[in-house]
């Protein structure tokens, strides 16, 4: 029989042996028993709650991808099928289920732009590595011009650790004749915090020969977003790539198009392009739901705080190496690695749905990210 409350007992113990007598008296025993039942019936014991925000990796060797699920729902996939000349994260989906990445060229969607076929999901590369254009390479490049372009070839999934939410992959940056210039090791750390899904990408590039990254506007970590997150525009535009090839971006119907940029330095809209900031967010509505995607630069990165190659038509990129272009000649970097040297780039990407994240909230996320 159990009881509630406090009971005090005064007990005398007397222990005798052949050597001595020990008298224990007036020992106060405090027994506190609370909230007990006479018995616990079988079946009333609470089951442990399932772990929330659980990351799961599903490897699909046939289609050459690794799906990234959080609580059983698709967040993104690491795709290395060779249809794009670099590994990409595609699609990218909010917790509520809205895709924030453009479908073209993998899954064309009616009403989306079909420019720049090399803009796929989230990717990491550069426009001038030893004179080769890794950024603009795509299926659209003619065979006779392929020697001008580089390809990032997936080599190996090193580890997929669901407990940590990390995926580690190796790749190589190669010439058109399969000469290896750089060895890439990338760790993706996936997580979820409320309605904010997070990707922390840490990429280390090791030079297999002397490598130069000439200042170029095309780079480095980027996302091409869905039509709704573009900035409204009623004018056709033509943008030149690194090889001087013009790409016309047609003006489309602006219905449902409502994106806007905000940088950590207070720049908004088209004014974000070509400016430095520690983070930039692109926000708007997709299917009437507020969503945003934010890219954060790490203080240890080369060129911090990065320049932003953030276009109104949906290209959103951080480029720390294109300083001469963005500064209009006032700065110059022309970053190099000697054979055997390495450099590491680290970025955080926040994919949020629901009420817009405030600058104070984003600064809080940045503070946590920059300390790690």
With contact defined as beta carbons under 8 Å apart, do 291 and 353 qualify?
yes
Asked, as a colleague might, if the bond just before 305 is cis with ω within 30 of 0, I would say yes
State mean pLDDT over 315-340: 98
Residue 36 DSSP one-character state: -
Question: What are the beta bridge partners of residue 239?
Answer: 247
- Both tokens of residue 77? 């996939």
How much is the pTM?
0.84
Express each pLDDT in 83-138 by its tens digit: 999 999 999 999 999 999 999 999 988 888 889 999 999 999 999 999 999 999 99
Q: What is the pLDDT of residue 134?
A: 98
Structural domains present in the chain:
55-370 (2.70.98)
DSSP symbols for 205-250 = EEESS-EEE---SSEEEEEEB-GGGSPP--S-EEEE-TTS-EEEE-
Express each pLDDT in 32-53 by its tens digit: 333 433 433 333 333 334 568 9
């Amino acid at each position: 029989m159990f009881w509630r409350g406090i009971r005090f007992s005064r007990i005398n113990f007397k222990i005798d042996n052949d050597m001595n007598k020990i008298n224990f008296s007036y020992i106060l025993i405090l027994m506190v028993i609370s909230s007990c039942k006479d018995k616990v019936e079988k079946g009333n014991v609470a089951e442990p709650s399932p772990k929330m925000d659980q990351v799961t990796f599903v490897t699909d060797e046939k289609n050459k991808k690794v799906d990234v699920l959080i609580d059983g729902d698709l967040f993104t996939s690491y795709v290395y099928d060779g249809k794009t000349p670099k590994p990409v994260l595609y699609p990218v989906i909010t917790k509520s289920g809205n895709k924030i990445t453009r479908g073209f060229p993998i899954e064309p969607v009616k009403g989306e732009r079909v420019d720049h076929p090399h803009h796929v999901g989230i990717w990491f590369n550069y426009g001038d590595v030893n004179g080769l254009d890794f950024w603009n390479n795509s299926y659209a490049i003619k065979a006779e011009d392929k020697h001008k372009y580089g390809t990032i070839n997936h080599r190996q999934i090193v580890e997929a650790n669901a407990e940590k939410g990390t995926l580690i992959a190796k790749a190589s940056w190669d010439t058109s004749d399969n000469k290896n210039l750089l060895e890439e090791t990338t760790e993706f750390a996936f997580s979820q915090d409320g309605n904010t899904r997070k990707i922390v990408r840490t990429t280390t590039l090791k030079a297999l020969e002397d490598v130069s990254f000439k200042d170029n506007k095309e780079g480095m970590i980027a996302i091409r977003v869905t039509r709704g997150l573009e900035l409204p525009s009623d004018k056709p535009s033509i943008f030149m790539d690194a090889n001087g090839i013009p790409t016309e971006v047609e003006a489309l119907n602006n219905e449902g198009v409502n994106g806007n940029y905000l940088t950590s330095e207070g720049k908004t809209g088209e004014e974000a392009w070509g400016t430095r900031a520690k983070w930039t967010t692109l926000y708007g509505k997709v299917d009437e739901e507020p969503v945003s995607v934010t890219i954060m630069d790490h203080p240890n990165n080369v060129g911090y705080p990065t320049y932003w190659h953030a276009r109104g038509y949906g290209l959103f990129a951080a480029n720390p190496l294109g300083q001469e272009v963005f500064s209009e000649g006032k700065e110059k970097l022309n970053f190099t690695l000697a054979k055997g040297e390495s450099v590491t780039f680290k970025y955080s990407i926040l994919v949020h749905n629901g009420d817009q994240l405030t600058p104070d909230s984003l600064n809080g996320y940045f503070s946590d990210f920059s300390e790690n």
